[in-house]
Structure 1
Amino acid sequence: MHLRRLIAAATTAAAAASALPVLAQDAQTLQVAGLAATCANCHGTQGKGVGNALPSLAGMNKDAMLEQLKAFRSGARPATIMHQLTKGYSDAQLEQIATYFSRQPR
């Protein structure tokens, strides 16, 4: 009987351990989606801009977006609010945001 409980516990532990990478990936995905959600007020949900007032971010080239985000942050590209917003993000976070929007369907 003790052996059966030990085997059951080992099986449960193995199943839980195999789920950890998936949970970590889901947490990372949620974190990046949260960062990108801060853009929704102006650029629309999932970067799908509404009207012509502001550019749609969905499907934008990652490298081009990252370049623009860094230009806003450095002040090289004039802006009303983007230069302030981008200063709140690290290089890694800006790259995550650019990657997220580049993967969204247009």
Structure 2
Amino acid sequence: MKVLICIFLFVSTLFSMDKSMKEELASACANCHGVSWELSTNGERLVSDMNEYEILVSLLAYKNKKIKSTVMNFYMAKYSDEEIEQMAKYISHQEKSKD
């Protein structure tokens, strides 16, 4: 069942990058970083403190392994640059906690 879900998500990204797809792509991020981007997993900047460009540059650096992180390198390797761009845009426009 999980394989079918993954295949469906992959195929659907090829045809559309609508809001629901951006949400789906970014949902895995929220598992570690929190739904309001309030958690840091490496002790550095919170996603909630970053703008769209900073998120994009960071995610691409993880994809290209310029920043070493087993988990982030693994996750970002699965996405195209366009998908990462869409995730950065979506994430940066979400309401973020500023506690």
TM-score (norm 2): 0.68
Question: Which amino acid in structure 2 is aligned with residue 39 of structure 1?
Answer: C
1:3-18 maps to which residues of 2 (within 5 A)?
A: none
Q: Deviations over 1:80-101 (max 9, x none)?
A: 3101100000111000110011
Who is 1:100 aligned against?
90
1:21-100 maps to which residues of 2 (within 5 A)?
A: 28-45=18-35, 47-50=36-39, 52-53=40-41, 55-58=45-48, 60-100=50-90
Instruction: Structure 2: state its 5+ residue gaps.
Output: 1-16
- Distance in 2 between residues matched to 1:99 and 1:61, nearest whole Å: 9
- Distance in 1 between residues matched to 2:28 and 2:19, nearest whole Å: 15
The structure whose RCO (Cα within 8 Å, separation 6+) is larger is 2
Structure with the higher helix share, 1 or 2: 1
Contact 2:62 2:72 (C-alpha < 8 Å) held by counterparts: yes
Provide the identity percentage.
Answer: 31
Instruction: Structure 1: state its 5+ residue gaps.
Output: 1-26
Matched position secondary structure for 1:81: helix
